[in-house]
Amino acid sequence: MKKFNKITPEGTKDILFEECLAQRTVSGRLAQVFRMRGYNEVITPGLEYYDVFDAEDAAIPQYEMYKSTDNKGRLIVFRPDLTLPIARLTATRLQSVEKPIRLYYNQPVYRNRKDLSGRSDESTQAGIELLGAAGLRADIEVITAAVDALSACTEHFRLELGNARFFKALADELPVSADRKEDIRLTIESKNYAALGDMLDALEPSLYTEAIRKLPRLFGGAEVFAEAERFCAGHPVLSETLNYMRTLYAALSALGLGDRLMVDFGLVQRNDYYTGVVFSAYVENHGDAVLLGGRYDNLLKQFDAPMPAIGFAADVDALAAVLLDAGAIEAAPTPEVLVHAQHGFEIRAQMVIRELTAQGKICESSVFETAEAARAYAKRRGIPQVIELGGEADV
């Protein structure tokens, strides 16, 4: 039988040296942004009961979850998402906490991706959730926090704004089943415009079929609102959503993002999950979004604690890769001092290392039997100073 003791499972990898430094750097920068905005860190279990993610609006396919059972035979999953566990946590442990509740996290998630997309099954996400707050002020707060989080890692990003209500209102005007609406949404999300055209061609032409056909092209700056306006005439939900997006875009424009702030009415991801504004961020040379977020006002009621909520998750792995590609992460530092002890001076060597590290110097303790071997090792490693104890003077 073949043994798999020298490889990692598909979709996972070992993380080494500079990659570790990059991930720690990103995590530290994001945590600083979140803490300074009044958010408190929470840590949820890596294992959760399947029921947490079996909610109607969870929008996580069952096949994407890594599953197991506990010692009582109950179905558990490796955490595939962080918003739902935080919703569970808020509904149980934080019921009596004054609203709004501001939480942040930095934890791995696990997805069993069978589509051979090249995405990792294990990835780290850092983000915030603002629970118990609705309206423009809350949306501006969270989106601005997303901008600050991205800016802490790179200046070269693009932020796209959409609204889940816009597509939903258009789709509700189509004479098709809920399943067919979801098929249409998926074709837009996957940018399969040929399939979208075929689906819409099978329907009676109308203002709303035309609007859905053009959704992917309703992308750009403030001029997009004028293009979208003609589809909203006489429709209160569409008009209200468009006006709200225009107000939000105008407010966020004051952040100085320029053409890095875009409107995209084709953002239709997880439409059964999001209920209002949605947003995504992208960086050069990385195809997938490095940050995803939006408003999800219906989710908490599934845990018997209805309240409005909005949040986002940043892809720590992707942002770490951005820092590495930009040369913003230094190589793992070489020790400055190697301390070698003759027999009987081993503890003295450790005391010297304590003193030197307290001064900020990176030190290694020699594990070699002879000073000659220690010097040869230091030369190979490029360690500039060797301290010998119990023998010759420092060299």
Q: Are 33 and 148 in contact (CB under 8 A)?
A: yes
- SS3 labels along 300-359: HHHHCCCCCEEEEEEEHHHHHHHHHHCCCCCCCCCCCEEEEECCCCHHHHHHHHHHHHHC
Q: What is the pLDDT of residues 278-328, one digit of tens each?
A: 999 999 888 889 999 999 999 999 999 999 999 999 999 999 999 999 899
Mean pLDDT in residue range 244-263? 95
The whole-number pLDDT of residue 393 equals 46
pLDDT of residue 352: 96
**Local confidence band at 394 (pLDDT 50, 70, 90 cut-offs):** very low
User: How much is the pLDDT for 153?
Assistant: 96
Q: Which two tokens stand for residue 329?
A: 């992460």
Per-residue confidence band for 216, with pLDDT thresholds at 50, 70 and 90: confident
**pLDDT exceeds cutoff 80 at 78:** yes
Question: CA torsion 110→115→119→121, rounded to 10°?
Answer: 20
Q: Give the per-residue pLDDT at 5.
A: 86
pLDDT for position 392: 52
pLDDT of residue 115: 59
> Residue 242, exposed/middle/buried by CB under 10 A (0-12, 13-18, 19+)?
buried
CB atoms closer than 10 angstroms to residue 361: 13
Class of domain 17-325 as given by CATH: alpha beta
Domain ranges of the chain: 17-325, 337-389
- Residue range 258-274: average pLDDT? 86
- Does residue 395 surpass a pLDDT of 50? no
* CA–CA gap between residue 362 and residue 12 (Å, rounded): 31
CA-CA-CA-CA torsion for 342, 347, 352, 355, nearest 10 degrees? 170
